[in-house]
């Protein structure tokens, strides 16, 4: 399976995915979106040896500086709706991934790039990273979930200000407002993400998956997140991993989880 505009590197069960349109500031065109859809919809679910994913952009200037405007500048309303729906479907695949996905934001994360970072479970920002949703400058609104996820992360007041003014925020503001998990020196974004994923890889795989599902349930319409937690807790209690984890705790040793 090939992935246009993406470079894949698997080391120590962690898959590093680099968007490779450096000359276009890694703007997300339709080919990149299709590759992301195949990657998270088909490839990763079929490779159980992958315990975590890092998503980043090539070069030092941008994670992804938005969507590729040239591709849809003349779209009709119906074509625009289809484009947005495709982006939503792809980004939901990332958000609902069975394994943790971390965005290593090494520069500009704007428009569709900011939305892509927000679809990941965590975000590590380089000190020179910038975030924003500048769509109103083009007479548009965010189309890949930006009006929803930005509110979830930083609250309605700040989100609507950024969405209406198209202002960018720097890495320190993003950290203070809760948009990113860590700010690191430029060039250390991937290594910090890898450090976190290696720590997570020592935990129970079933539990990791259920935590992701339970947190997502909080934001899922018509789903009672508390009820989902009850069901998931019960499920985890019946797994071999829990029995191994409890036994290891009593015996004061590291557990040997199998994901079952």
15 exposure class (CB count in 10 Å sphere: 0-12, 13-18, 19+): buried
CB–CB of 65/113 below 8 Å?
yes
Tokens read off for 6:
């993406």
135, 172, 188, 231: the active-site residue: 135
Catalytic status, residue 49: no
42, 79, 89, 115: the active-site residue: 115
Catalytic status, residue 221: no
Catalytic residue numbers, as ranges: 115, 135
């Amino acid at each position: 399976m090939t992935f246009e505009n993406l470079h894949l590197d698997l080391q120590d069960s962690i898959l590093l995915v680099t968007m490779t349109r450096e000359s276009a500031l890694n703007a997300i065109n339709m080919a990149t979106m299709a590759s992301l859809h195949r990657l998270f919809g088909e490839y990763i679910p079929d490779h159980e040896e992958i315990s975590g994913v890092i998503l980043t952009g090539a070069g030092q200037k941008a994670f992804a500086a938005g969507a590729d405007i040239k591709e849809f500048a003349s779209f009709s309303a119906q074509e625009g709706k289809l484009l947005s729906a495709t982006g939503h479907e792809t980004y939901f695949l990332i958000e609902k991934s069975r394994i943790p996905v971390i965005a290593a934001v090494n520069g500009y994360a704007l428009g569709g790039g900011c939305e892509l970072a927000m679809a990941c479970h965590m975000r590590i920002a380089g000190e020179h990273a910038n975030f924003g949703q500048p769509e109103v400058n083009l007479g548009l609104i965010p189309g890949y979930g930006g009006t929803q996820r930005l509110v979830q992360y930083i609250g309605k007041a700040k989100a609507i200000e950024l969405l209406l003014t198209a202002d960018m925020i720097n890495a320190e503001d993003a950290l203070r407002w809760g948009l990113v998990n860590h700010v690191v020196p430029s060039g250390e974004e991937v290594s910090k993400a890898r450090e976190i994923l290696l720590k997570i890889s020592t935990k129970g795989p079933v539990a990791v998956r259920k935590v992701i599902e339970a947190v997502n349930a909080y934001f899922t319409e018509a789903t009672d997140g508390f009820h989902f937690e009850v069901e998931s807790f019960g499920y985890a209690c019946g797994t071999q991993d829990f029995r191994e984890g409890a036994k290891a705790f009593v015996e004061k040793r590291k557990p040997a989880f199998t994901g079952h």
